[in-house]
Every structure is written in C-alpha cells, then in structure tokens.
Amino acid sequence: MTDKDISQMADEYLSSIDDEVDESHKEELRGKIEQGEEKYERLVQEHGKDHRLAKKAEEVLETRRSELNKLEEQEEQLGTAREEFLQEVANEFELNEHWLQTDIVEAVTHTLVGKKESSYKLFGEEIQGLEDMEGLDEFDRIERVEVVILLAKDGLDQSEKVSEQWERLKDSKSYNAFEAVAEHGTQTPKEVAEKLDESKGVVNGWLKNPTNKWDRLIPFYRPKKGEYGLSTTGQYFREHYYEDGDIETDETEIEEDKTVDKEEDSSEATEAQTTLGATATQSSATTDGDEDCFPR
C-alpha cells in the first residue's frame, strides 16, 4: 500500500471515530425498548391490537428499534474500520517520516489504546519525530517498530506475545506500581510509594526493572527525569487487559483481617453469652426443683 493510501485510511478512521457510539445511550435505549414491549403487550391484551393506544405504542417501539439498529450498524462499521487499519499497521508500520505524521500517529494510537496520542512511547522513551531516534542503532529502531506491530497483531488475535508479557507483568512486583500509574497517571517513585504504603527504594526498583531490563514490551516510560508514565504498551495493557482493583493491596488484606477478627470476637462473645444463659437457666431450674422437693 502506498503512503497516500495509508494517509487516506488514517483520515477515514479518524472521521469514523467522531461518530463513535455512546454505549450508555445504547444501553438506555435497549432498556426503554424492553419496557415498551411489556407495556405494548399489556395494551394489546386489554384493548386489542387495533386500538389506537396499542398502535401508537407500536409506532414508538418501531422508532426506538430503528434508532438502536442504526447505532449498532454504526458501531459495526467503526469496528470494521479499526480492524482494517490495524491490519495495515501490522503489515506496513514503520517509524519513518510518513508514519510519524500527526494524523497517522493519532489514528494508530487510537486503534491501539482507545485515544488519540501525538507520539509513541517505546522502550521508556517518547518518539514524536525522526529527531527522537537520532543515535539509535538500526536494530534499536527495528525493535521499536516491532512493538507497535505486536500490539496491532494482538488486537487482531494474530499473536500471543502481548498476552504473555501481560501475564509476566501480573506475576511480578512491578504490577503494584503499574496499577498505581494506570489509575493515577504519571507518578514519581515517591508518589507511588505513598499510594502503596511501601518504601521509595522498593518502588523505584519495581519501576526501573521492567523499564531497564525487559525486552520490547515495556509498560513504563519516562516523560522526564524522576517520573514514570505508561508507555504505549502500558496504555494498551490498561485498555485491553487491566481491570480496576485487580490487586489486593496490603491495606485491603489488613482490613479483611480486621473484619475476620471482629467476626471471630463477635462469635466468641455470642458463644459466651449463650453459655452464661444456659448456665443461668440450669441454675434456675435446679432452684425450682429444690423448692418443689423441700416444702417450706
């Protein structure tokens, strides 16, 4: 495909996302249709299908069904446009002057991470123009290109490398730091440490280890010295793999332990009261028995 064709695909894709479907509106419409169908059936049962109220209700339902169908078709078209553009990224992507044009970068990043970005964040660094790659070895450039291609292939279910790296992240201590950055944005190690109630030195290691040592699919990048944000890979993880609250922090575990302790204390207290009650009842019964056996 020529550069002109890629630019055209990017423009068409960006135009299509301007008409992106509002999921909440779609669900609200579905709910109204379901409720309307119930009301329509009731009107038919009570007044007959040819009654003017039943006919009016049927017209309202048809209008709402038509609107929902239109939204679903629109959503399907957007999905098709995204898939076609992703395939082009998987096949043709390069970090060259053409692919670094603003509109193409925005289209590529939107297909990958769900929002338009003006740059790629790869291997801990931001790439917005050719000048950002000066001094890079050819193989370094190839590996950066490969990251974007792997993400595109994951979106098309054509590779398992990204999902494997996600599992690696989830199984590592760095996942705690990832959650903090994913939920709160760019952070310093100190800020992450405060959120996780952990030492700055430990958290610094969690952030640095994947950034400096992991191969290709690195979740973090450094917007400036002493700060960590999500790389394009990290943003992809957050958009397609991460679920809020995945991590059970020490604080959560402590609260759960407290709850268990309270339940145990409550249970013990109940048992004690039951025992005391039983003893009192037994004592009362014995006393009553004594009174019956030994008249005054």
121 domain residue, yes or no: yes
Which of these three, 74, 92, 110, is where a domain ends?
92
User: How far apart are alpha carbons 53 and 233 in whole angstroms?
Assistant: 56
User: How far apart are alpha carbons 162 and 126 in whole angstroms?
Assistant: 20
Q: Do 109 and 254 share a domain, yes or no?
A: yes
Would you say residue 60 has pLDDT above 70? yes
Q: Please state the separation of Cα 25 from the chain's center in Å.
A: 20
Query: Nearest CA to 218 among 158, 166, 180?
Result: 166
Q: What is the CA radius of gyration of the chain?
A: 31
User: How far apart are alpha carbons 269 and 247 in whole angstroms?
Assistant: 34
Q: Do 229 and 85 share a domain, yes or no?
A: no
| Confidence (pLDDT) at 252 | 39
- Where are the alpha helices (H) located in the chain, listed in sequence order? 3-17, 23-47, 52-92, 102-113, 138-155, 161-170, 174-184, 189-196, 200-213, 232-240, 250-293
Which of these three, 92, 113, 140, is where a domain ends?
92
Q: Do 80 and 101 share a domain, yes or no?
A: no
Q: Do 232 and 111 share a domain, yes or no?
A: yes
Q: Do 222 and 108 share a domain, yes or no?
A: yes
Q: What tens digit of pLDDT does each residue of 230-267 get?
A: 999 999 999 999 986 554 434 433 344 334 344 444 44
29 domain residue, yes or no: yes
User: How far apart are alpha carbons 117 and 130 in whole angstroms?
Assistant: 16
292 domain residue, yes or no: no
Mean pLDDT for the chain overall: 84
CB atoms within 10 A of CB 138: 7
Residue 171 DSSP symbol: T
Q: Do 180 and 49 share a domain, yes or no?
A: no
User: How far apart are alpha carbons 173 and 9 in whole angstroms?
Assistant: 40
Q: Do 259 and 178 share a domain, yes or no?
A: yes
Q: Do 121 and 221 share a domain, yes or no?
A: yes
Q: What are phi and psi of 120, to 5 degrees?
A: -100, 140
Which of these three, 40, 74, 92, is where a domain ends?
92
**Residue 11 or residue 19, greater confidence:** 11
User: How far apart are alpha carbons 99 and 115 in whole angstroms?
Assistant: 17
295 domain residue, yes or no: no
Q: Provide CB contacts within 8 A for 195, sequence distance 6+.
A: 180, 184, 187
Q: Do 84 and 100 share a domain, yes or no?
A: no
294 domain residue, yes or no: no
86 domain residue, yes or no: yes
| Confidence (pLDDT) at 4 | 57
CA angle 128, 130, 133 (to 5 degrees): 90
| Confidence (pLDDT) at 3 | 58
Q: Do 108 and 46 share a domain, yes or no?
A: no
Residue 27 near residue 113 (C-beta atoms within 8 A) = no
Q: Do 164 and 122 share a domain, yes or no?
A: yes
Residue 1, domain extent: 1-92
Q: Do 121 and 180 share a domain, yes or no?
A: yes
What is the number of domains present in the chain?
2
